[in-house]
């Protein structure tokens, strides 16, 4: 049987068909707009979800840093290390909320610092803009905590706890946000900082996050001086072994895991690029471990575990700037080079400069962060990001810009670090007394032990 509107016996069938077609056609634009709106809403929600998951992964890196630093230092200071890392995030989040976020992402003042949106005043969480702002703040707050917590490794086992927390909050509220504005100030939609405007590339923070923390750790290590017994009268260095290598290795695995939020999450967009960014990230970490292991094995006759662990971190730090711009082959080269470099840097800083950096924070984060940022200027590959490096025919322009950025951030972070530690030293003192250092900061600073029965309390 024919459908009603196709029956030739009914004279109204043709007009009815025409009217029906017109009605359907009239609804098509509305359906298309509805589909576009639904698609945009789905993408917005996906971006929110992906950025939130990535931020949670980066927050978990605080546990990784705590485990690495605790394992690489002595048992009598384990609780002190944990407290410093814990307060980096706790106190730092408040400082970044009240002051740091506005300095970093507020309306730009001559490309030097932000000047608005402190404490997120005026954000309406019921609007899409407000929802995104709050998610973006959380993502950026865990990055700020990462930069601050790097400092604790450089000053481990001899710095007063109140002085450290003061420095940490200054880092999160002022030092990190200002140089961060130079490089990332436009990420929130405002006018960017001066380095950003000249084309400086640091996708996820080799310089913005890691080098800033590393250079501050250098300033701190210089200010507090070496641990008791670290150097002999003739200047030769003594190895002060960490108490728990398995704990340190667990920390490195946690950091590696969290880096898949650190680098792919820096897209803040749920799209196809997060896949190859994750590939680049993992390959660089693996190559960094191999580079450090081979270098240590060649120089010292054995594959040193602590150097290998730091090599993995060095590779991850190095690829963080260029994870969006480099090819997988470029990531392997960059990561392997970071692994080699970190071994040479640790030895140089320890034995030549005679700077006591218990966990290698300066080498891993400062030196390898700068190195990885410069590698973008050399190895940014066609077909990946939006830039082409020198080795692919892109000329010297990008490499020059990267050099300017690395140098400017070093001058700011190290210079402000020197000033900050000097001021804190004058006001409240930096270093515990020698007998307190020998006894251990867990008992002296916190009145407790990390491992029950490890120490014997005395009345002295």
| Pair 113, 103: CB distance under 8 Å | yes
| Pair 323, 263: CB distance under 8 Å | yes
What are the backbone angles phi and psi of residue 431, rounded to the nearest 5°? Answer: -110, 145
Token pair recorded at residue 132: 């995104």
What are the backbone angles phi and psi of residue 126, rounded to the nearest 5°? Answer: -90, -5
pLDDT (tens digit per residue) in 327-375: 999 999 999 999 999 999 999 999 999 999 999 999 999 999 999 999 9
Q: Crossing angle, helix 245-262 and helix 305-320, to 10 degrees?
A: 10
**CA 154 to CA 359: how far, in whole Å?**
7
Smallest CA-to-CA distance from 292 within 333, 334, 328, 337 is with 337
Q: How many residues does the chain have?
A: 460
What's the predicted TM-score (pTM) here? 0.89
Question: Does CATH number 1.10.3430.10 belong to domain 38-446?
Answer: yes
pLDDT (tens digit per residue) in 265-307: 999 999 999 999 999 999 999 999 999 999 999 999 999 999 9
Give the domain ranges of the chain: 38-446
pLDDT (tens digit per residue) in 106-162: 999 999 999 999 999 989 999 999 999 999 999 999 999 999 999 999 999 999 999
Token pair recorded at residue 366: 């400062």
pLDDT (tens digit per residue) in 70-91: 999 999 999 999 999 999 999 9
């Amino acid at each position: 049987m024919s459908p009603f509107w196709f029956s030739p016996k009914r004279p109204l069938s043709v007009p009815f068909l025409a009217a029906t077609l017109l009605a359907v056609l009239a609804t098509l634009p509305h359906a298309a707009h509805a589909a576009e709106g639904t698609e945009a809403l789905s993408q917005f929600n996906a971006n929110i979800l992906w950025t939130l998951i990535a931020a949670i992964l980066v927050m978990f890196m605080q546990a990784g840093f705590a485990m690495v630093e605790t394992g690489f230092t002595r048992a009598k200071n384990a609780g002190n290390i944990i407290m410093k890392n814990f307060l980096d995030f706790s106190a730092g989040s408040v400082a970044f909320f009240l002051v740091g976020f506005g300095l970093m992402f507020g309306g730009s003042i001559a490309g030097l610092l932000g000047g608005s949106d402190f404490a997120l005043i005026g954000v309406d969480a019921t609007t899409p803009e407000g929802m995104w702002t709050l998610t973006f703040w959380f993502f950026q707050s865990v990055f700020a905590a990462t930069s601050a917590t790097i400092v604790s490794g450089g000053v481990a086992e001899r710095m007063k706890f109140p002085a450290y927390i003061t420095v940490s909050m200054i880092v999160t509220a002022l030092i990190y946000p200002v140089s961060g504005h130079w490089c990332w100030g436009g990420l929130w939609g405002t006018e960017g900082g001066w380095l950003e405007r000249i084309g400086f590339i640091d996708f996820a923070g080799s310089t913005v996050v890691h080098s800033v923390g590393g250079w501050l750790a250098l300033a701190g290590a210089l200010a507090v001086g070496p641990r008791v017994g670290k150097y002999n009268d003739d200047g030769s260095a003594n190895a002060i072994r960490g108490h728990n290598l398995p704990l340190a290795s667990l920390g490195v695995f946690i950091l590696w895991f969290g880096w898949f939020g650190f680098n792919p999450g820096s897209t803040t967009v749920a799209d196809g690029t997060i896949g190859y960014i994750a590939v680049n990230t993992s390959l660089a970490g693996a190559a960094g471990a191999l580079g450090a292991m081979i270098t240590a094995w060649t120089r010292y006759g054995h594959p040193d575990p602590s150097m290998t662990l730091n090599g993995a971190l060095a590779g991850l730090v190095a690829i963080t700037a260029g994870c969006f711009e480099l090819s997988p082959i470029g990531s392997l080269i960059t990561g392997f080079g970071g692994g080699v470099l970190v071994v040479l840097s640790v030895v140089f800083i320890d034995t030549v400069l005679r700077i006591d950096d218990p966990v290698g924070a300066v080498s891993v984060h400062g030196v390898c962060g700068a190195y990885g940022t410069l590698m973008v200027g050399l190895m940014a590959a066609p077909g990946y990001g939006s830039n082409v490096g020198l080795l692919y025919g892109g000329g010297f322009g990008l490499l020059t810009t990267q050099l300017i950025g690395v140098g400017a951030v070093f001058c700011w972070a190290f210079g402000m670090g020197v000033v900050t530690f000097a001021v804190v030293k004058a006001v409240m003192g930096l270093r515990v007394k020698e007998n307190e250092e020998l006894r251990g900061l867990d008992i002296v600073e916190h009145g407790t032990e990390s491992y029950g029965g490890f120490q014997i309390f005395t009345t002295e």
